[in-house]
Structure 1
Amino acid sequence: MGATRTFLEELLAGNQRHVESLPEDYFSEVQTGQHPDTVAICCSDSRVPQEHMWGVDHPGVVFTPSNIGNQVWDDDDGERIVDGGVLYPIHHTDTDVAAVVGHTGCGAVTAAYRAATGGELPGPQGVDKWVEMLVPVVEKAIESDLIDRETDETTVINQLVEYNVDHQAEFLRESADVPDDVDVYGFVYDFQGVYGNEFGRAYLVNVNGETDSGAIAELLPDEFATATQSILY
């Protein structure tokens, strides 16, 4: 209990610093409601700081659901439906942008790849459920000509990460529960230097179904030209 108690105290001390750092009116505009600009579905991972990665320093801007493998869906008695954490802000807080955010070196994608290629699921069942939902995505990717299985596993995993982001974004765009006027973007958060040498960069890999990095770059100001890399196409 000693080590646990020490960390508990660290959490409380950290929250105290947070409280003391906030301006007096920090929550004034969102205390009775929220209208976030975007909902960003990220992978559950301690290395992916959801709000901090966008430079957000005030509440109410980004609605931040997350799960294993940044999956936009859930299983409802055998049917895949858009996850409520994504749909809630779209239907109830006037949010009209959805971002799917994967990350380099994703453990969920790694587990799904190994399961798809004859390995065991990692366990326990609460984890396996989400990994199993990723397996068909990985299998589809492997069957395509986009994944270079002749290279090392690390490269394959990162290609699958980007493929999964595209696949999740496509599911959102095709869902009847997501209005046509909602923009859907796909990003890969890179803290390993896979896409370039800017660690922590969220590389834009999909804009409403467009995956060509050159075409995406043309949609953006020149200052963001280096943020549109792809390792898949």
Structure 2
Amino acid sequence: MDETFLDMLDRNADHAAAFDDRFDDLQHGQQPDAVTVCCSDSRVLQDHVWGNDEPGHLFSCGNIGNRVVQQTDAGQRVSGDVLYPLAHTDTDLAVVLGHTGCGAVTATYDQLTDGVSEPPGIEHCIDLLAPGLESGLEKLPDGLDHDEAVNRLVEYNVDRQVEFLRDSEDVDDRVQVVGAVYDFQDVYGGQRGEVHVINVDGETDPERLRERHPAIDSRVQRLWTY
């Protein structure tokens, strides 16, 4: 047996010992306070980002590119794993969390600019991101290097996912949608690991966000507006 998995089981034993009594009120249902849509990346510890160790508090979804979009026979719709808590558990907050140095955004950018190809499974994910990011390429400032362009498109992608949620007829108007970026590259100048809010219900202007939401004044920051 792989030593890594043996270590994982040991860590799970510690987890089970600590969490044994935390499921008492959750065995037959859930009403999470928020659904988070994070990028599947080993550097982004989805629940730990929020300091969460409370079962039932957050409904965490993960995929490459923190997408809310799913391709169905009826066209593009809000992904079922994101929609489920919003439609069936009275969750009224959705948080789309991108991150600096996102591999999915990088792959999409490279495909759109250089025609770089990926295996079919990854290609499918890129195809869901590409239509939203393509318009962002035209808006990028001149003189950016590759990493700078990617990190601005990370924000652009979060904005597009927020927009898709807000425009969907399947998502109730009561749901607040927040877009944010997790920074572990020291791009935003704060502490590595901080979450920076870039979008609330479609509003992306930092000054207006600070005026409307003074409680998050210090956490509002964008790399660019367009």
Q: TM-score, normalised by structure 2?
A: 0.95
For 1:201 and 1:94, the matched residues in 2 are separated by: 28
Q: The residue matched to 1:33 in structure 2 has which SS?
A: coil
Instruction: Select which of 206, 222, 225 maps to 1:230.
Output: 222
Structure 1 stretches of 5 or more lacking a match? none
Alignment of 1:46-125 (within 5 A): 46-77=42-73, 79-123=75-119, 125=120
Instruction: Select which of 202, 206, 209 maps to 1:213.
Output: 206
For 1:175 and 1:78, the matched residues in 2 are separated by: 13
1:122-159 deviations in whole A, cap 9, x for unaligned? 22x1111001221222211112x3x1242111000000
For 1:207 and 1:195, the matched residues in 2 are separated by: 18
Contact residue 121 and residue 131 of structure 1 kept, 8 A: no
Q: The residue matched to 1:10 in structure 2 has which SS?
A: helix
Aligned length: 225
For 1:86 and 1:74, the matched residues in 2 are separated by: 10
Q: Does 1:6 align with 2:3?
A: yes
Instruction: Select which of 118, 122, 127 maps to 1:127.
Output: 122
Instruction: Select which of 168, 181, 184 maps to 1:175.
Output: 168
For 1:67 and 1:149, the matched residues in 2 are separated by: 30
Shift of 1:50: 1.2
Shift of 1:108: 0.2
Cα distance, 1:168–1:110 mapped onto 2, change above 3 Å: same
Cα distance, 1:114–1:149 mapped onto 2, change above 3 Å: farther
Instruction: Select which of 27, 30, 33 maps to 1:31.
Output: 27
For 2:38 and 2:91, the matched residues in 1 are separated by: 17
Shift of 1:56: 1.3
Give the corresponding residue for 1:196.
189
Shift of 1:195: 1.1
Q: TM-score, normalised by structure 1?
A: 0.92
Q: What percentage of aligned pairs have identical amino acids?
A: 45
